[in-house]
Amino acid sequence: MSALRIVLTILFIIVCIVLTAIVLMQEGKSAGLGAVAGAAETYWGKNKGRSMEGLLVKLTKVCAVLFMVLAVVLNLNVF
């Protein structure tokens, strides 16, 4: 096993753990069902991209892309 493959495997494991933690920290989508009953959108609902929830969504996307790329690279039998 080459050193690069070991480093990529360790990075893959770290990305897996971080992705799992980020997904578990997010709110469920059912929290927004108050809008169905006629509740007005709050400040945090309008600015979701700048809130903590928006940050978690962006981090989830980045980690998911890293997960997919590392999974494909590790499955190539080049090393």
Per residue in 19-69, pLDDT (tens digit) is 999 999 988 776 555 555 555 555 555 566 678 888 999 999 999 999 999
**What integer pLDDT is reported at residue 49 of this predicted model?**
61
Tokens encoding 31:
């929290």
Q: How many residues does the chain have?
A: 79
Domain that holds residue 61: 3-22+40-75
Is position 47 within any domain? yes
The reported pLDDT for the residue numbered 44 is: 53
Which has the minimum average pLDDT: 12-16, 30-34, 54-58, 74-78? Answer: 30-34
- Token pair of 3, please? 């050193």
Q: How many domains does the chain have?
A: 1
Question: Is 30 domain-assigned?
Answer: no
Does residue 4 register a pLDDT over 90? yes
Q: Give the separation between CA 64 and CA 58, rounded to whole angstroms.
A: 10
Q: Is residue 15 part of a domain?
A: yes
Task: Confirm whether 12 is domain-assigned.
Answer: yes
pTM of the model: 0.72
From the list 2, 3, 1, 12, the residue with the least C-alpha distance to 73 is 12
